[in-house]
Amino acid sequence: MPDDPKANANAKPGAAPDRLRPTIIEPPAKREKRQNDATPIRHAGTPTVTTPTAIPGVARKRIAVSPADMTRLSPGVSSRTAARAVWLVESFVAEGAGDRHVTPWGRGAQQRHAALISEGLAPSDDGVLIRTRGHVGRIVEILETIDVEATCDGRRAPLLALFEAPSGRIDSPRKLTVARAELAGLIDLTRAALDPLRTLEAALCDHSRRIDETRVEIEAAALGALFLSEHLATSRPELSRRFLQREMSLTQSAVEIRGGQFERDSQVEDARALIATIQDVVLATLVSWLGDMAIRASRRPATTEVAELRSRLRAILRKLAP
């Protein structure tokens, strides 16, 4: 039963209270979360997100340039080269630029070109081209000495052929047999050279392609340097002169690359032509002709057959001629 407040008020001083009453302490008021609290509440496992800090500075100004500007400076320039030149100019910051920014301009492409030229000596010097040309040349030498009419002439007695005077011509079935043995070995050598020749052709094509890529980079850098030289002529005359010097150096490199294009194309074409000669002439037409020649030389062929063999031999020699 609850205590009577009146009874407690009338109690005598010093008298013990009827029962003990607990002390009640009110809990502190909860702190309300401020909506604009700058400190976010982090939960376990939540990654920390760093907010960007605004630092006052000078906004970077891009140089206004377009492919049309490059076409004006170099009529006939490819769209690929013009686009790269525009990108280079847009990447350049004129504010605070000095000689240390001009010196490396396009130099990386020049260095890559020099490395490719040194590397290109290895494929072009590969002995497979020289050896295979030598095999084909020897085939031509043998074929040029074959006298079709004399070899197919069955009137010569076999016994007399053993005592025939030595000559540089193949004019008997016996000499043709010896020549065919050497030709068979040469044909096998050219067949074995096909895969190395294809590998060489692919390497030369790739090498030429990489050099052409550096040419585009160098020409774009030269065009960009020329544009910047013109753009900075009034505001930064010294920097303008330095860019003009870089343009001259880069243009010289590009001219050298274009000058070597004919040689690179010739190397690729030589390998490609040799592969085609082996596949189409040596391994097909020549092998077929040698078989027919051996069969008809063993008997006395008709005049028309001899004429046909002679005509086919001449056609083979024309195709094998360097």
106 near 250, Cβ under 8 Å?
yes
153 located within any domain = yes
pLDDT digits (tens, 9 = 90+) for 63-90: 889 999 999 999 999 999 999 999 999 9
Position 41 scores a pLDDT of 53
Position 123 scores a pLDDT of 54
How many whole angstroms separate alpha carbon 181 and alpha carbon 126?
A: 28
243 near 102, Cβ under 8 Å?
yes
Q: Give the closest residue to 204 by CA, choosing from 145, 264, 156, 262.
A: 264
How many whole angstroms separate alpha carbon 20 and alpha carbon 140?
A: 132
Position 61 scores a pLDDT of 72
By three-state DSSP, how is residue 146 classified? strand
Strands (E), the chain: none
What is the arithmetic mean of pLDDT over 147-163? 66
250 located within any domain = yes
How many whole angstroms separate alpha carbon 265 and alpha carbon 258?
A: 11
Domain that holds residue 249: 124-320
CB contact set of 273 (below 8 Å; sequence gap of 6+): none
pTM score, whole prediction:
0.71
What is the arithmetic mean of pLDDT over 151-156? 70
Q: Give the closest residue to 313 by CA, choosing from 137, 136, 144, 185.
A: 144
196 near 187, Cβ under 8 Å?
no
18 located within any domain = no
93 located within any domain = no
58 located within any domain = no
pLDDT digits (tens, 9 = 90+) for 112-123: 999 998 887 555
51 located within any domain = no
282 located within any domain = yes
Is the per-residue pLDDT at 165 higher than 50?
A: no
pLDDT digits (tens, 9 = 90+) for 220-276: 999 999 999 999 999 999 999 999 999 999 999 999 999 999 999 999 999 999 999
Is the per-residue pLDDT at 42 higher than 90?
A: no
3 located within any domain = no
By three-state DSSP, how is residue 289 classified? helix
Residue 159 one-letter amino acid: L
Position 157 scores a pLDDT of 47
Q: Provide the mean pLDDT of the chain.
A: 83
How many domains, the chain? 1
